[in-house]
Structure 1
Amino acid sequence: MNPKKPLVWVVDSTYTGELHARIGLAERLGYGYECIPLPNGDNTRYQQNLQNRYAQTDGSPPLLVISGTGEETTAEIADLRAVFDGRLFNVYLASILPEQRHPRLADYDLVASPQLSGDNIITLTGVPHLLTHQSLENAAQQHASYFKHLPKPMIALLVGGNTRYCQGFTVEHAQQLAQRVVGISTQLSAYVMVTNSRRTPPEALDALLVGLADVPHQFFDWQQAPGDFYHALLANADVFIVTGDSLSMCSEAAFTGKPLLVDLSESATECFHREIVGRLLEYGAAKLLSEPFTPWRYTPPDPTGALADAIRQRLAATSIC
């Protein structure tokens, strides 16, 4: 057994949720990590650059690489096994997979997926994310002076938007969503905090906020707020309403253990989203957005922690560590 802790490389991504999932896992593992660039189309040069980078590391430690869905890099990252033969443990985070899985997934040491099962697969409830209980507590303390003045109970409305394969987050859909949120807010006499994502169409967001005019609410743009303000919202909210197109936001809300209502309208979500969020429904962490609201309790799923534990166990059983 090699007593050295692994060198952890996180493959970069332009997709926020995918990158946060990889970084969240790396942070939960506790070994430290570095980000490496995406493959550049020149596989030979890419491998040489990584070899040179590895050569600068003291002591030839075991290597753990974390990549996954987003940009199509499955084959290029799988090919690193030949470059770092006997030293590499390759992890693939599959937030959403098409009906036909990539044939090179079998070349990974571990695949984490809310859709798949098998020998080298960890089946998750939800998807990995950045949150920890400590990060929620820290954010709540950091912004305590702001949230203590807001009315209770508080509904956090977490809004995604259009995806690569579904463009249904329209003005009409936003208006219908607002009507349902108003119904829940009125029932609970609740204050509504709204935030968006980079995928939220501006015109749909405007329509949503106009539709909430009859209930007390406010909106903050996640791109303009301090980095941990979103985490503070998660810590302070009493109920979540989340659009089902964002697996990250659904998983983050479920991690808090608070009631989570999900909009899974077929016109605004992909079938893969409905399948994966359906696991949260089956688990009991979420219910469909409908009226009236009835509170419930559940044990929060922790896909990031479950995956980190599985990786530590697999590493201990391999010859690279």
Structure 2
Amino acid sequence: MSLSPDEPQIRTHRVAFVVYDGVTLLDVSGPLEVLHQANQIRKGCYETLLVSASKGQVTTSSGLVLAGVIAAAEVGPVDTVVVAGADQLVDGMPDELLRVTATAAERASRVASVCSGAFVLAELGFLDGRRATTHWRHAAAMARQYPKVIVESDALHITDGRYVTSAGISAGIDLALALVEADYGAALARATARELVVFLQRPGGQSQFSVALETPPARSDPLRMVTETVVADPAGDHTLPKLAASAAVSPRHLTRLFRTEFRTTPGRWVERVRLDRAQQLLLDGHSITKAARLSGLGSDETLRRAFARHLSITPTEYLRRFQATGQSLQTE
């Protein structure tokens, strides 16, 4: 697949991937393959480099070896630096990794991380006062270790200034598609995604996973019954009085249980479950109107507000990002 042969000459973006022994393979290979496929479609748009403290090779956490690694001192200016993650970074990182990243990032216009690679950026102070994300499993540790960073555990990727952070492992593919779109436009990003047979770019604000899966099992019997009821039938009558009555507790007590165990209110939690359901209904081909009704959100406007509040995107844009070119919104 290629874009129009009449495309004007483009400037090549140099992208340096910071790698090291123990790095997670997919954190490197996923984004790297996105840029490679973009190059196949539009020749010369990216030059990719593997960078480490010394040239040669590094061994990934899976035991596979990455060859052709360039020493940081020999790289020269790059446009983008991508720091790949590894589980051990949560407990600390070698000084040489910090030096390599700082050297590579010094003249780069954009610095990105995949998964726990965000810990490197945070350790260097790059993310102080900025919004950032990482793998959901490491988000709490990142927030504790780097209190100056505004950690958002429920996003796939976040851009704040010249820094772009992404969630765990496969989210690096979403991050790379976002970089392609920022550099060369949505058409190339969509064409690249189709070649990779992946979603045409999940919005950065989309949850890393469903709120129903994210919510830990309730410790109290009343709360467990309520959450199971809502997940089983998001479109049901789930007003606070109804939920409290079904659990045989007062509305105030039920609210207290939600705040204590889930750190949210019953209303907000129900809305998130309904939003998850609406997202799936849209992807299944239902209209915005029907998705709103079947999910329990009710009206088009309520659905749009829920998308804006939780995902920072409109339902139409959500569908555009997920659907193949040529598909359109269905009408009821």
TM-score, normalization by structure 2:
0.31
* Structure with greater helix percent: 2
TM-score, normalization by structure 1:
0.32
